[in-house]
Amino acid sequence: MPEAKLVRESQAEMVEVVLPNDANPLGNILGGKVMHLIDIAAAIAAHRHSRSYVVTASMDHVDFLHPVRIGELIVLKSSVNRVFHTSMEVGVKVFAENVLTGERRHTSSAFVTFVAIDDQGKPKPIPPVIPETEEDKRRYEQAEVRRRHRLEHRARPRN
């Protein structure tokens, strides 16, 4: 098993300008585009932490709190919250940034679960993550609760 890593060692920040091609008729970024960017930002942190290829296993619901308008920056911050053996939860916070004032507003958040895979496409162990700050520790503890909910949901019979 590779050595444990600090949360900050794999954190990532992505920034893009929202262009008309990314927007709906109201001038706001498309929800699907935001989800796509969340998946990419989360994968970067997962790759950095595991130093492995990873695949997306799930994305928790995404609430769109505020729109991101054409001409604003969309800023995505990601970090590994917790590792469970071959899977890990990555948290992503999304912000809209006004390019003229620098003002940022939180627009959405998501938790994305990834599985690290080996050369044969089989799950492989991931090094543990070490939370340092109080915020890291809070996210680490809450990730276990969310994982239990995900596993319970997956175990429910489907029609």
Enumerate long-range contacts of 24-27, CB under 8 Å, 24 or more apart.
26/67, 27/69, 27/70
> What is residue 157's predicted lDDT score, i.e. its pLDDT?
84
CB crowding 132-148: b at 16 or more within 10 Å, else e: eeeebeebbeebeebbe
Question: Phi-psi region for residue 103, left (φ > 0), alpha (ψ -120 to 50) or beta?
Answer: beta
Domains in the chain: ranges and CATH: 5-154 (3.10.129.10)
Question: Phi-psi region for residue 85, left (φ > 0), alpha (ψ -120 to 50) or beta?
Answer: left
Instruction: In whole angstroms, give the CA distance from residue 65 to residue 26.
Output: 16
Residue whose C-alpha is closest to residue 117's, from 143, 76, 86, 145: 86
User: In tens digits, what is the pLDDT along the chain, a chain of 159 residues?
Assistant: 669 999 999 999 999 999 999 999 999 999 999 999 999 999 999 999 999 999 999 998 898 999 999 999 999 999 999 999 999 999 999 999 999 999 999 999 999 999 999 999 999 999 999 999 999 999 999 999 999 988 888 888 877
CB crowding 13-35: b at 16 or more within 10 Å, else e: ebebebeeebbeeeebbeeebbb
Per the CB < 8 A criterion, the answer to whether 90 and 114 are in contact is: yes
